[in-house]
Amino acid sequence: MSLDHRLINLLVCPVCKGPLELRRDEALRPLELVCPADRLAFPLRDGIPVMLESEARSLDAAPAPASASAPATPAAPQAPTPKPPT
């Protein structure tokens, strides 16, 4: 299904109201609408833009590691133990 380019020109980012860019896949089919300011990508499903922040993909998120030997997350820092009164 083809996405109407007039529609893309009317749509804005639901978060910042900024302009969106159309990103295509290798076959030049419309894939997602990207907000460069918020670094979010809104998916296109059956040619319909899904303009929900909860459905958007963050462009800053690193891809998941391919191996099971991912680095462990560091432990949260602990508060210092108070010294007893002297």
Give the pLDDT of residue 69: 46
Q: Which of 3-7, 13-17, 25-29, 67-71 has the lowest average pLDDT? A: 67-71
Which sequence spans correspond to the domains of the chain? 5-58
Q: Indicate the burial class of 65 (C-beta count within 10 angstroms; 0-12, 13-18, 19 or more).
A: exposed
Q: Which has more pLDDT, 71 or 6? A: 6
Q: How confident is the model at residue 67 (pLDDT cuts 50, 70, 90)?
A: very low
**What CA–CA distance (Å, rounded) separates 65 from 46?**
29
**Residue corresponding to tokens 């009317």:** 10
Task: Kindly report the CATH class assigned to 5-58.
Answer: mainly beta
For 9-58, how does the pLDDT look when each residue is reduced to its tens digit (9 = 90+)? 899 999 999 999 999 999 999 899 999 999 999 999 988 899 999 999 99
